[in-house]
Chains A and B, each alone.
Chain A
Amino acid sequence: MSALRAIMRKEVSDHFSSNRFLILFSLIAMVSILMVYMAGLKISQDLEGEVKPTFVFLMLFTSSGIGFPLVQFVAFFGPLVGLILGFDSINREWNEGTLSKLLAQPIYRDAVVNGKFLAGVLVIAVTLVSIVLAITGLGLVTLGVVPGVEELYRIFFYLLVSLVYICFWLGVAILFSILFRSITTSALASLASWIFFSFLIPLAASAAASAAPPLAGESNTGYVMRVSELERTLSLVSPMRMYLESMAVIVDPLRRTTSALVAVGRNEDISLSRFSGPLSLNQSLLMVFPQIVFLVAILVLCFAVSYIVFQRREIRSI
């Protein structure tokens, strides 16, 4: 246990003092704060004249001021943090000859992988929490609204699921750093898999779905529904899609389905909500439970594979 703690502590201090992390962190912090500031301005415009709007605070995360909302920003670029923290974690030690020195000490092999992974998790958690705290502070200033208890719970779950999502990509990067001895190769492989699963799969899914011919005697709406259902099914392979679906529901209490066929604007949304109250938190969570389980499962799977590969690696080649 003390070996695990020692490795973890060293890794965390390495991360926090590395230039690459500082650059990345300041970039992400800047963009997200700017985005929320813009979103805040837009929300206060939109809500002018509205009587007793609910869950205003959460809108900071979902409404888009410039470009796209924060939730989507994390979905797109959060993985990059995980990848950057992990892509050279094992093979750098390999190349510098420190790995065999580490393993010649009385520690179990898994302490190395676990220590590095947990250090990454800790760093990601600190990043996420500090960004969300900054956003909360800004939200208080720009909106003048204090988040309610349920909103805080929702933000907590938002953090938790985001952590799992980004840690999955950390796990992918660590796996590549075990598989490939060259740091460049593992960096490229990590980036390639990120681009493939986050950007190519959704594109390919929509291309493939729209290629499906209409059935004989099928109504127009039926066809559109079927194509969109097909597209959704195909794009479920993408962790980003899973994350976005679960986030949309967790952060937006008014949402009652993970697959909205038609985008509903704010005003329609409000008029709809006149007839249906917001969902309670556990109802929302229940709805995206499969997505969350999926994210946790791929994280565990990825970790297990790197664990097994590392345990079996012949030391001589290290």
Chain B
Amino acid sequence: MATQPAIETRDLCKRYGAQLAVERLNLQVAEGEVFGFLGPNGAGKTTTLLMLLGLTEPSSGTARVLGLDPRRQPIRVKRQVGYLQENMGFYRDLDARQMLAFIAELNDLPAGEARERAEAALVAVGLAGEAGKKIGAYSRGMRQRLGLAEILLKQPRIAFLDEPTIGLDPDGTGRMLEVIQRLARERGMTVLLCSHLLEQVERIATRIGIMIGGRLVALGTLGELRDAKFGVAGGQYTLEEIYLKYFRESAG
């Protein structure tokens, strides 16, 4: 079982009425990988994440997360997966500490350990100074950091990060990427990173998948994608150029 992939999907499809949001997705992500999941808006990335979490029923196909079926065992899957969603909501009347305490309680963490982990998480994302403020008064970037703190608190084996750096200042972005990388390297956490900021993905992702119109059009390391599109001589092309080439091809 040591080689069991963290995430595995087989012909995973999701239909909303006549529209095909995800079409026969076959994806494997190994444990400890930082997987960059790219694609234009509405490509089906978030839908895929929701299916992996068991929050949305797939129309057909199967998904396995740490060997578990999110359809059948959503609670066990969600216990080991942290999800930082795009445009996430917060309870505006709580402060950061209360919010983390609430999340800890929902995850059944013992109170003492939860408090320790919460403090450590607040320090790691740079919110320790403002932890007593109501979340309603937070800026967008601070909320985003609090979202990451929730994941640090939960210490899951897999983290789904949907646009984690949106609204962050350059310093915050750097710090967030550093925390994500450290989680993957030191704790062996698997990270699924959805982002439109390609240079960030280029910096930390070990492998990349590009999804366009519900289909996975490319999958591999940066080098592999580069070779596939530009031949062996394409050494200097950035991820952005590669991505745009894929995008234009599938659009045209």
Interface residues of A (CB under 8 A from B): 2-3, 5-7, 10, 14, 17, 93, 96-108, 314-316
Contacts A/B (CB < 8 Å), 14 sampled: A3-B106, A5-B105, A6-B105, A17-B93, A98-B89, A100-B55, A101-B83, A104-B83, A106-B75, A106-B79, A106-B106, A108-B75, A316-B16, A316-B56
| Interface: B50 (CB within 8 A) | yes
Assembled-state Cα–Cα distance A5/B104 (Å): 13
Q: Are A14 and B93 in contact (CB under 8 A)?
A: yes
A102 adjacent to B106 (CB under 8 Å): yes
Contacts of B195 in A (CB 8 A): none
A residues within 8 A CB of B103? Answer: 105
Q: In whole angstroms, how far apart are the Cα atoms of A102 and B83 in the complex? A: 11
Number of B residues near A (Cβ < 8 Å) is 26
Whether the pair B107, A101 counts as a contact (CB closer than 8 A) is: no
| B106 and A107 within 8 A (CB) | yes
> Which residues on the A side are within 8 Å of B75 (C-beta)?
106-108
Which residue of the partner chain A has the closest CB to B49?
Answer: A104
What's the nearest-Cβ distance from chain B to residue A306, in Å?
Answer: 19
Contact B85 A2 (CB under 8 A): no
| Complex Cα spacing A23 to B198, Å | 52
Kindly state the separation between the CA atoms of A105 and B16 in the bound complex, as whole angstroms. 25
- By beta carbon, the residue of chain A nearest B46 is A316
User: A100–B85 contact, CB under 8 A?
Assistant: yes
Residues 77-95 of B at the A interface (beta carbon under 8 Å): 78-79, 81, 83, 85, 87-93
Q: Which residue of B lies closest to A93 (CB)?
A: B89
Does the CB pair A316–B105 fall under 8 Å?
A: no
CB of B56 within 8 A of CB of A106, answer no
A101 and B89 contact, Cβ closer than 8 Å, known pairs A10-B102, A316-B50: yes
Q: Is the CB of B55 within 8 A of A105?
A: no
CA distance A6 to B81 in the complex (A): 20
Query: A209 to nearest B CB, angstroms?
Result: 49
Considering the complex, which residues of chain B in the window 36-84 have a beta carbon less than 8 Å from any beta carbon of chain A?
47, 50, 53, 55-56, 75-76, 78-79, 81, 83
Considering only CB atoms, which chain B residue lies closest to A1 in the complex?
A: B108
Main secondary structure of the interface of A (DSSP, over half): helix
Please name the residue on chain A nearest to B92 by beta carbon. Answer: A96
Minimum CB–CB distance from A228 to chain B (whole Å) comes to 52
- Chain B neighbourhood of A10, CB < 8 A: 91, 102
B87 contact from A3, A93, A97, A107, Cβ within 8 A:
A97
CB-based nearest B residue for A18: B93
Contact A314–B107 (Cβ < 8 Å): no
> Which residues of chain A are within 8 angstroms of B79 by Cβ–Cβ distance?
106
Residues of A within 8 A of B47 (CB): 316
Note all chain B residues with C-beta closer than 8 A to A100: 55, 85, 88-89
Question: What's the Cα separation between A107 and B108 when bound, in Å?
Answer: 10
Which residues from chain B contact A99 at a C-beta distance below 8 Å?
89
By a CB distance below 8 angstroms, the chain B residues around A98 are 89-91
B55–A6 CB distance below 8 A: no
CB neighbours of B83 from chain A (8 A): 101, 104
Query: Given the complex, which residues of A lie within 8 Å of B93, measured CB to CB?
Result: 14, 17
CA distance A205 to B226 in the complex (A): 78
A6-B102, A106-B76 known, 20 other contacts, Cβ within 8 Å: A2-B106, A6-B106, A14-B93, A96-B89, A96-B90, A97-B85, A98-B89, A98-B91, A99-B89, A100-B85, A101-B88, A101-B90, A105-B78, A106-B79, A106-B106, A107-B78, A108-B75, A314-B56, A315-B55, A316-B50
Known: A100-B55, A315-B55. A105 touches B89 (CB 8 A): no
Smallest beta-carbon distance A268→chain B, Å: 56
Query: What is the bound-complex CA distance between A105 and B93, given in angstroms?
Result: 20
Question: CA–CA, A96 to B85, complex, Å?
Answer: 13
Instruction: Find out whether the CB atom of B105 lies under 8 angstroms from the CB atom of A106.
Output: no
List residues of chain A with CB within 8 A of the CB of B16. Answer: 316
| B-side contacts of A107, CB under 8 Å | 75, 78, 106
Q: What is the chain B residue whose CB lies nearest that of A98?
A: B89
Closest residue of chain B to A10, judged by CB? B102
* A3 vs B104: C-alpha distance when bound (angstroms): 10
